[in-house]
A and B are shown apart, each in its own frame.
Chain A
Amino acid sequence: MVMKQSALTKKVLPSLLVATFLVTLWWLLVVTTRSVIFPTPWQVLMAMAELVRDGTLWGHIGASLMRVGTGFALAVAFAIPLGLWMGWVQGAYATLNPIFQILRPISPIAWIPIAILWFGVGNESPIFLIFISSVFPMIVQTVAGVHTIERRYLRAAENFGVSRYTLFRQVVIPAVLPQIIVGMRIGLGVAWLVVVAAEMIALHSGLGYLIIDSRNAGNRYDLVIAGMVIIGLIGLSLDGAMRLLEGHRLVRWRYAR
């Protein structure tokens, strides 16, 4: 136990030191430049406390998580079956891959006008933007997963003469699952990344809205930075949650050895 604790300290200590240094530097710079707009770390902490106290923080977090959750879930439901199909059927890949390769590099921000045109200003627009941003990496990963199934496994399945259903359920899907989880990790990361941009479209809730509104309503940069820090912390937790999936019994084989 003692060994474990010291190992943990060894792992965490360097980044903790660097973070402390950066916060101190930030503080010193604000103090020495006598900035009236840019807040000190303490002011940001107080702003967070203010958000917690007046209860608005949970509403913003909830709204953002709901939009990201919905957009991401739709993207998962769309990308995984499509990716499996494109990976398995050569014709589907040849037809659809060029289209996705053109759509993929377009920044989700470029879709904002179209999102407003199609869905107006409500929850649907940001959900659509989150969907658009996370769907492509998941399609790409799933297709790559199918394409990299080792031939010896497919041959063994062929040798035992199993049905198509068994082939998919017991060989293809388990073989691709680790790649799908990588895709989901990337997809969720991107989804959370664009939540701020997505919530710029006039809405009255969400962490993105909090940031834009705090700047517009009286240059409250302490709230702006508080919002940024909260987004960072939640992003970290979401990634941590996705990492937990990598330890699942069904995909552990991929990471063993």
Chain B
Amino acid sequence: MNTKPELLVTASSLEELYRLAEAGADAFLIGEERYGMRLSGEFKVEDIAQAVNYAHEHGKRIYVAVNNLMTNELLEDLPEYIKQLTTLQVDGIEFGDPAIVALAREHAPGIALHWNAEMTSTNAVTANYWGRKGATRAVLARELNMDEITGMIGKLEVEAQVQVHGMTNIYHSKRRLVGSYMQHQGRPVDGNDLGLQRGLFLIEAERRDETFPIYEDTNGTHIMSSEDVCILEDLHLLMEAGVQSFKIEGILKSITYNETAVRMFRQAIDQYAQDPEQYEFDESWMDEIRRIQDPERELSFGFFYKEQVF
């Protein structure tokens, strides 16, 4: 597998997108809250158009998140939205809901579909199932470990995307959990004030040193991991296995932070591509990331080296 894997990152704004492009990102995941989930910022259709123009001029790709759990109401607007995205020539859309497969077939044939069912994208048979339904890529669950991921690549008939850095979503409810709690305490708050920017987090009674970001938006309540995954040290294992796309999740991080993460992963990917045999992980890449890491959030291997039971 000698093709260079793609370095994909989220962007909260056009400004961030330009900066991360300069830092070395190949592709961007953007979108709007109405159709996509847990985006780091809002890109309306006009913004997506600008992003696509910029990206295509610079040899980069734009993927749009249309991965919400869709309701009947959203179905009314989705055909138009998907058609617009096709017209804009976005490079792919991420989906989780089968409704999108049916809608894309009808309204946007030919658009690249990336299957992303979050924590439930867990095996090759299912990924290939969606492949036969039109998906070209599977976004693997972050709860899979290294052996499962590397073992899966050979069985996949679609590309694999793996998150290599950043936080992950660990719980999503349609309920307004923070707003409800505050109201229960007799101190109601404006629901608009409980979003990403507010910096809310939970601490579980017996795990005082782990902070779990929590926020609300129109899609409900989202709880995020207390750690930031970073598999930079062992990225070569994923490159060896032939993973086609590495994702850096930039939600709830500053542009400067994401820039650094992109630069470090860029170096690793480039060096490996130059000569896999001679490739060596450089500890200074990690140091760069550690230097800007929020001290209240641990950098971890996520589930890459965990054995889970059930």
Q: Do A and B belong to a common assembly?
A: no
